[in-house]
Structures are given as C-alpha cells and as structure tokens.
Amino acid sequence: MRETLVSRGTRKLLVAVFMVWTMFPVYWMLSLAIRGGGELFGALNLLPRSFSLEHFADLFNTKAFDVAIGNSLQVTLISLLLALLFGMSCAYVLARARFRFKMKGAMLFWVLLLRILPPIAFALPLYILMSDAGLLSTKIPLILSHLLINIPFIIWFMITFFEALPIEVEESAAVDGATEHQLFTRIVIPQVLPGLTAVSILAFMTSWNEYLYAAIFVQSPSQFTIPLALSTLNSEQELTQWGNIAAGGVLSLVPIALFVLFAQNFLIVGLSGGAVKE
Amino acid sequence: MKKTLALLLVLILTLSMTAMASAEPVKLVIAARGGSHVDVINAVKADFEKENNCTIEVLGLENTDLKQKMALDSRNAKGAYDIVMLDDPWMPEVTEAGLLLNLTQAGYADDADFVKTSLALGKAPYGTGDTFALPFAGNVTLLFYNEAVLSAAGAQVPDSWQGVLDIAKAVNGKDGKIGYVIRGQQGNPIVGDFLPVLWAYGGDIFDADWNVLVDSAEAKAALNLYIELLANGKNFEKNDIVSSVANGTAAMSLGWPSWYIVGGASTAGYAKIPGKAAPDSVEYPSGVIGNWLMGIPANTQNTELAIKLLTYLTSAATQKAAASVGAVPTRVSVFTDAELSQKYPFYATLLAATEQSVERPRTPKWGDIENVFGIELSNAITGIKTVDQALADAKVAIENAIK
C-alpha cells in the first residue's frame, strides 16, 4: 500500500515536471506577448508586472499581420484539402492488394524518399520550374510545395489505417452493388475518421508553420505568410522585437489550438490507432 | 457524396484562381532587409512614385533570405527586383557573380558627398573599381557606456583598450555591477565584437597578399585582453547587452548605434571605439563599418527608372527626410546639416567613427571565414582551447575556407 502511494506520488511529480517542461515555453511566449514594451527591456520577472495588448496592436497596425494570417489560411487550407484528396486516395489504393497494384514496395519507397530528402534539395529545381512557368508572382508555387511535403506524409500515415480495416466489409458493400467511389467515401472513410483527423491536424501544422519554401517563393509582401512576417522582426540592425514576435506566435497558435480542442477525441484515437497492425 | 466532392473541387479551384488572380502588375520592386529599412523606404517613396508615375513595392526579408532570393532571381532573364539591398560584406560575392549592374558603365558618376569609407564599399574592386552599389544606410560600431557607472568609478571615457580593461576591473563585482559586456556568440556576433580589439592592437585577419594573420602576436595580445574583459564582465546577447548598459547594470560594451539610439536620444553614452592598445600605443582605425548598400540587379527590366530611384533614395534630400524616421545617413552634408545635427547630436560622433572605420575583409568567402573564426574565438573565451591553440586552428580553418 505504502509502495503504491510512493509510486503514485513519484508518478504525479514526474507528470508535473513534464507538464512544466512542456508548457513553460507556451506560458513564456504568452507572458511576453501581454507585457508592456517597457517591461521587456532589462531583467524579466517570471510573472508579468503589466498588461498590454500593444504588441498585438502593433502587429496589425504596422506589420500587416492580418494580411499574413489571411495568406497563411489560404495557402494552408487549399494545400491541405488537395493533399488530403490525393493522399487519402493514394494511400487507399496502395493499401488494398485487390487492386493488384504492382511495384507497391518501390512506390512506397519512392513516396518515403520525398519525406527523407531535405526540403532544400527540392528548392532550387522547384524555383526554376515555377520561374519558367511564370508562376512566381502567385501563391501556386507555395501551395504545390506544401503538397510535396504533405502528400507523402498523409500516404504513410493513412496506409496503416486502411490496411487495418477488415476487407470483408468492403466486399459485402461491393456485393450489395456499391461502386468503388461509394465504397471509399461511404464505407472506408467513416471508419478511418480518427486517422483522418489526426493526419489533417498534423498536415495543417506542417503547412501553417512552413518557412523554407515561403522564403524562396514569396515575391511580394502582400503574399507573406505568418512565419515570413515574423522572421523580419529580428535583424542585426535593430534590437529583437520580442514582444511582437511573441504576440505573433500566440496568434499563429490560435487556429491549431482551436482545431485540437474541437477534435481532441478523434486526435487521440487517431494518433494511437493505426500504429499497430492487427 | 459525389455532389459534395464536386463542390469541394469547385471550391479548391475557386480558391486557387483567387490565388492566381493576386498576381501583381509590373512595378518597381525593392528587395530590402526587413525592419526599419522597409519603414524608411516606405516613408520616402511617395514623391518618387508621383513624379515618375510608378508604384514601388518593398519586399522586406530576413538577412539570409534576402541574399538567397537575390541569387535565385539572378538566373531569370527577367529579374523580379529593380533594386536590392546588400550588407556590405556581400559585395565581393555578388559582384564576382555578376549579379549587379555596373553603375559606372551605366553612366553613374560618383558623388563626393558620400562619406569616403561608405562609397568605397560599393566599388569592385573595393575602393578603386567601378561603382556597383551606393550606400543607403550608414552604420559603424561604437563604444557605449553608462555615464553614471563611469562617473561613480571616477573614470573618463577610455581612449585605449587598456583603459577599458582598467575601468572594467574597477567596476566589476561592485554593487553587482558588470565591468564590460562582450557579445560572444559564435559566428557574426563574436567576430564583429572582437575585430575592433584586434585592429586596435595592430592585428588583422589577412595581410595585403591574403596571408592569414590571426595567429600573430598582435592577435594573441588582443584575444588575451578580450578574455580578460570577459573575466571582468559578462557574455550577453544584444538585447541584454543594451539593457544592462542602459540601466547601469553594466559599464561598457560595443554595439551598433541603432541598438541604443532611437530618434535623437541615446540610452547610453557613446564614443568612437578606442583605436590603441594602451595610452602610449600607436592608434589604428578600429570601428567596424557596416553599411547597407543598394544596387541594381543586372537583369532588371527597368534599368533607367531603377537608376533614377537609386539616386533618389540615396540623395541628400531623401536622406534628410528619412532621418526623421530613423534612417542613418551616408552623406557628409546630411551628417553635418545644422538642423539635423542639433536634433541628432550623435551624428558628429558617427561621422568621425565612420571616417575612421575599417571594412571587413573583401572576399567572397567572408561568410565562411566569419563562421570558422567565430568558432575558434568561442573556443578560446570558453576555455575549451588556449589562445595560442584557438588562433592556430583559426588560421588553418581560414586558410581552408579561402582555398
């Protein structure tokens, strides 16, 4: 009994330490964002001594942060929808042996290779392609580059979910006259919703925070995404604007936090499911 | 479900079309360093737009991204940018790569009103060749000090590094004060912070024939002093350096003027960086010049208008107007303008320091050199290596970098 209490106490302590360790950066970002500018100059207290929304106001009034949020939403949502459409379909095809898909192993390796290679390896060829196609002044290169990152991830994430589904259900539906499209959308997709939710949020986060391709493809301040807008707030010439950077970080956290909040049940099942093939 | 899918595809298509439709019409585009430079250009561009019936878009970018974009865009027959901003050490690299329009060949005649040391930065070869870029924003490192702390220690503003060390020793540890703050992070910070000491001791990174000199007796003496300064102080990042000197926690540091001076007011005292090792030593120029230049990409589609805009942005009238939004001039006539001098008293010190400043070595490999030298300097100040070993290793690393 005593041993149980000790081990329970140790567990609670470890959880508490882990919580502080993981949550402190978020707290610190939030606390920097809401302090007045004067308080950020010099030694900082753990707790804010003033409250101000000046950094948030400054971002919108002088840094066109609303434009950056709009651009990030546009690029992220378009690329996410397209990546899910292509990635889910591809994962399903690769997962089902009944398609008699040859070269499955090689195909999977090829897809994986896109994730293994560093993104910078694709940057110059993509830049040349987009430049030659005259697309550099649009958001299309950015959307396509996000597809390049997310489609392989979605395929690899979802393939285990599809493979874990009992094929008999699909066979019964097929016997009942369901077309391939009906089978996929009405029978298969509802069964992998937790996985779909999890992969959506992870792909959303990847796209939302993507910096490298944005830095290469974006040609106009009117197309700045949030990471690009934040990057210009620190220069050798001036002191780092920690308040504005923290406020930008808080704002960029909001969509992801909301998504996770509403989809947390699906997310937990999705992240833990599919990992083990039965 | 098919309807939903069709609707989804239409939605995606519509959004994509919106994305495509946001393509900008042709205009003059300036690729600039993000931050205050963008604010300055935006503040003065209206008159030019009105007079020349054009629009100017300023793309503010992070340092590395700016250089990368300039290089990437150079491969296009039709360049995306009409003017690019350049940190002055990039000049050898970008001119050797043929990225910039030769302004001299395009008919630009040098303007003697620019501070000589600033104008020299935009020439290739340095100081003597044709002009490829003009100095847009002036900058030179200065010595910053807390007047109250120096006064309490009964010290005057030091004119030698021995003097700096003596004050640091007198102040450090008393009432929790810090004698001197170095900026000892690897790479650009520590190299930029150490170079003035090295130069003041008569040392340098290269001689005129590009032989590496970082293991010279002068360099060893300079690094020993730098380590002694750290022993009587702290190693901080730039925001903490400024706050500690400004609020009187620390006595002295080196820094760029824009860290301390906003508008006409400075949060600390400032002076030219000492140029001699000891009071009776030979004096050398010691401040690091760090101008932001403006050049015209060789592949611009608007050469004439770009030259006109470049001339406008670097003109005395524009620099005078831009001073009110925090721009640091590069012209003698603006530095010495009676009205501005009264409003911005630091101009006199800045002009004197700029005239006696030193440029970082003019080599396309400067980025690599700064990196490897910074690593070894960091090894020395943290005690991982002795001064002799660190500088000997730095010599080998720099020689490898310039091969």
Give the pLDDT confidence of A122-131 residue by residue, as tens digits.
888 899 899 8
Question: Is B198 contained in some domain?
Answer: yes
Predicted pLDDT of residue A276: 47
Question: Do B318 and B256 fall within a single domain?
Answer: no
Using a CB-CB cut-off of 8 Å, the residues of chain B touching A231 are 34, 61-62, 65
Chain B neighbours among A 1-40 (CB < 8 Å)? Answer: none
Q: Are residues B248 and B388 in the same domain?
A: yes
Q: Are B325 and B397 members of one domain?
A: no
Give the gap in angstroms from C-alpha B65 to the nearest C-alpha of chain A.
6
Domain count, chain A: 1
B149 and B249 part of one domain: yes
Confidence label for A101 from pLDDT (cuts 50, 70 and 90): low
Residue-wise DSSP of B137-197: E--B-EEEE-HHHHHHTT-PPPSSHHHHHHHHHHHTTGGG-EEEEE---TTHHHHHHHHHH
> Is the CB of A124 less than 8 angstroms away from the CB of B8?
no
Look at residue A29 and tell me if it is in a domain.
no
Question: For residue B337, is it within any domain?
Answer: yes
Among positive and negative, which fits the CA dihedral B150, B151, B153, B156? Answer: positive
CB contact under 8 A, B62 and A240: no
Summary mean pLDDT of chain A:
87
pLDDT at A278 > cutoff 50: no
* pLDDT band at residue B265 using 50, 70 and 90 as cut-offs: confident
Do residues B129 and B245 share a domain?
Answer: no
Closest CA to B52 of B354, B336, B392, B307: B307
Q: Which residue of B has its CA nearest to A181?
A: B2
- Show the tokens assigned to B108: 């630009």
User: For residue A240, what is the nearest residue in chain B, using CA coordinates?
Assistant: B239
pLDDT at residue A179 above 70? yes
At residue A235, the pLDDT reads: 73
Judged against a pLDDT cut of 50, whether residue B5 lies above it is answered with yes
Beta bridge partners of B180: B233, B252
Contact B36, B85 (CB under 8 A): no
- Write out pLDDT tens, residues B343-399: 999 999 999 999 999 999 999 999 999 999 999 999 999 999 999 999 999 999 999
Domains: count for chain B: 2
Query: Is B195 part of any domain?
Result: yes
**ipTM rounded to 2 decimals:** 0.78
> Which three-class secondary structure state does DSSP give residue B253?
strand
Name the more confident of A39 and A150.
A150
Decide if A78 and B24 are in contact by the 8 Å CB cutoff: no
How far apart, in whole angstroms, are the C-alpha atoms of residue B217 and residue B201?
Answer: 9
Which tokens go with B365? Answer: 């490999």
Looking at the fold, whether B278 and B304 belong to one and the same domain comes out as no
CB pair distance less than 8 Å for B258 and A237: yes
Place of tokens 């000199």: B213
Of B19, B36, B58, the CB nearest to A221: B58
C-alpha A76 chain-centroid distance: 9
Contact status, residue A136 vs residue A219, Cβ threshold 8 Å: yes
Beta bridge partners of B57: B29
**DSSP 8-state assignment for residue A156:** H
- B395, with CB counted inside 10 A (0-12, 13-18, 19+), is buried
Q: Which two tokens stand for residue A197?
A: 């939710």
Q: Is A164 helix (H, G, I), strand (E, B) or coil?
A: helix
Q: Are strands B56-61 and B28-33 parallel, antiparallel or unpaired?
A: parallel
**B2 domain-assigned:** no
Task: Give the Cα separation of B381 and B234 in Å (integer).
Answer: 11
Instruction: Tell me how long chain A is.
Output: 278
Chain A residue numbers touching B258 (CB-CB < 8 A): 237-238
For residues B384 and B270, state if they share a domain.
Answer: yes
Q: What is the CATH number of the domain that holds B377?
A: 3.40.190.10
| CA distance between the termini of chain B | 64
Residue B28 and residue B306 in contact, taking contact as beta carbons nearer than 8 Å = yes
Given this model, what pLDDT does residue B316 score? Answer: 97
Q: Would the CB atoms of B258 and A138 count as touching at under 8 Å?
A: no
* Closest by Cα among B58, B97, B57, B90 to B75: B97
Q: Using the 3D structure, point to which of B322, B339, B358 is the last residue of a domain.
A: B358
Kindly determine whether residue A215 and residue B244, on different chains, have CB atoms separated by under 8 Å.
no
Q: What is the pLDDT of residue B14?
A: 56
Q: B187 and B104: one domain?
A: no
- Kindly list the residues from chain A whose CB atom is less than 8 angstroms away from the CB atom of residue B374: none
**Full DSSP string of A209-245:** T--HHHHHH--SGGG--HHHHHHTT--SSS---HHHH
Indicate whether B263 and B170 sit together in one domain: yes
- The answer to whether position A217 is within a domain reads yes
Instruction: Give percent above pLDDT 70 in chain B.
Output: 94
Which residues of chain B are within 8 Å of residue A144 when distances are taken between CB atoms? none
- In this prediction, residues A151-175 reach a mean pLDDT of 90
Q: Determine, for residues B242 and A236 on separate chains, whether the beta-carbon distance falls below 8 Å.
A: no
| Nearest CB partner across the interface for B243, out of A42, A222, A237 | A42
Contact call for B247 and A42, based on CB within 8 A: yes
- Which range of residues forms the domain containing residue B113? 17-139+290-358
- Tell me, yes or no, if A41 comes closer than 8 A to chain B by beta carbon: yes
Residue B28: inside a domain: yes
Nearest CA in chain A to B9: A82
Residues 6 or more apart in contact with residue A48 via CB below 8 angstroms: A31, A34, A35, A39
pLDDT of res. B2: 55
Q: Which of A138, A235, A238 sits opposite B63 (nearest CB)?
A: A235
Residue B231 is given by DSSP the state H
Decide if B8 is inside a domain.
no
Token pair of B106, please? Answer: 């395009």
Under an 8 A CB cutoff, do B75 and A238 touch? no
User: Within an 8 Å CB–CB cutoff, is residue A167 touching chain B?
Assistant: no
Residue A209 falls inside a structural domain: yes
Domain that holds residue A76: 65-227+252-272
Query: Is residue B134 located within the same domain as residue B173?
Result: no
Q: Rounded distance, CA A239 to CA B144, Å?
A: 15
Please count the other Cβ atoms lying within 10 Å of the Cβ belonging to residue A18: 10
Taking the Cβ of residue A220 and every Cβ of chain B, the question of whether any pair is shorter than 8 Å is answered with yes
**Is residue B132 over pLDDT 90?**
yes
The answer to whether the CB atoms of B62 and A231 lie below 8 A apart is: yes
- Asked if the structure places residue A108 within a domain, the reply is yes
Q: Is A155 a member of any domain?
A: yes
Closest Cβ opposite residue A219 in set B59, B68, B290: B59
Residues B155 and B272 in one domain: yes
Q: Count Cβ neighbours within 10 Å for each residue of B66-92 and write b for 16 or more, e otherwise.
A: bbbbbebbbebeebbbbbbbbbbbbbb
Of the partner residues B20, B35, B249, the one whose CB lies closest to the CB of residue A232: B35
Which of chain A's residues have a Cβ under 8 Å away from the Cβ of B1?
Answer: 181-182, 185-186
CATH number of the structural domain spanning residue A159: 1.10.3720.10
Express each pLDDT in B37-96 by its tens digit. Answer: 999 999 999 999 999 999 999 999 999 899 999 999 998 888 999 999 999 999 999 999
Contacts of A232 in chain B (CB under 8 A): 34-35, 38, 60-62
| pLDDT for residue B318 is more than 80 | yes
Neighbour count for residue B156 (Cβ, 10 Å): 10
Measured between CA atoms, the residue of chain B closest to residue A137 is B23
**Cβ–Cβ below 8 Å for B23 and A85:** no
Give the up-direction half-sphere exposure of residue A91: CA atoms within 13 A in the CB hemisphere.
29
Residue of A nearest to B248 (CA): A42
pLDDT for A246-276, tens place per residue? 999 999 999 888 888 887 777 777 666 654 4
Taking alpha carbons only, the member of A23, A20, A44, A22 closest to residue A34 is: A44
Chain A residues closer than 8 Å to B35 by CB: 232-233, 235, 237-238
Interface contact A231, partner B, CB < 8 A: yes
Q: Are both B146 and B235 inside the same structural domain?
A: yes
Is residue B303 one of the residues assigned to a domain? Answer: yes
- Segment 108-137 of chain A within 8 Å of chain B by CB: 124, 127-128, 131, 136-137
Chain A residues within an 8 Å CB radius of B12: 78, 81-82, 85
A199: tokens are: 């992969």
CA atoms within 13 A of residue A254's CA, in its CB half-sphere: 10
In a domain, B80, yes or no: yes
Cβ count near B379 (within 10 Å): 19
The enclosing H or E element of B258 equals helix B257-260
**Are A85 and B8 a contacting pair at CB < 8 A?**
yes
